[in-house]
Amino acid sequence: MRSDTILKTTTRIIVPFILMFSLYVLAHGEISPGGGFQGGVIFAAGFILYAMVFGIEEFYKIISKRMVIFLTALGVSIYTGVGFITMLNGGKFLEYAKLPGLDMKSGNSIGLLLIETGVFITVFSVMILLFIEVAKKNDS
């Protein structure tokens, strides 16, 4: 596949649209089907497509395994951090209305977007880690 010009050109054109669509799915998950999980999988699929067409060496120039592991921890931290902040403000875990400085309506919107972003980052990075491990096994 590495010498296929049509495949490489098509991938260069389509990957940015895949990534943008995943962000759309994330942003509109509150009011339509989608959200962090679906958006994270679509985002990962764009990176995996790139890696499959251009090779794992080119993929590692974009994102390293160390960065992916960091993103996994970051996503989980965002999700749990929002929950703990609401608990510290006298609410239940993930009771968005208890986010500091926000009323119930904006707290619900912002809180949901924050946890969906945490889920998005976590799902994206775990999917990439799974791909890296499978690719590593196939290289041996």
* Range of the structural domain that residue 116 is part of: 5-139
Domain count, the chain: 1
Residue 1: pLDDT over 70? no
Residue 138: its pLDDT value, please? 75
Helices and strands, number each (H, E), in the chain: 5, 0
CA atoms of 120 and 103, how far apart (whole Å): 25
pLDDT score recorded for residue 99: 86
Residue predicted with more confidence, 87 or 34: 87
Q: What is the pLDDT of residue 97?
A: 84
pTM score, whole prediction: 0.90
Range 51-60 average pLDDT? 92
d(CA 25, CA 10): 22
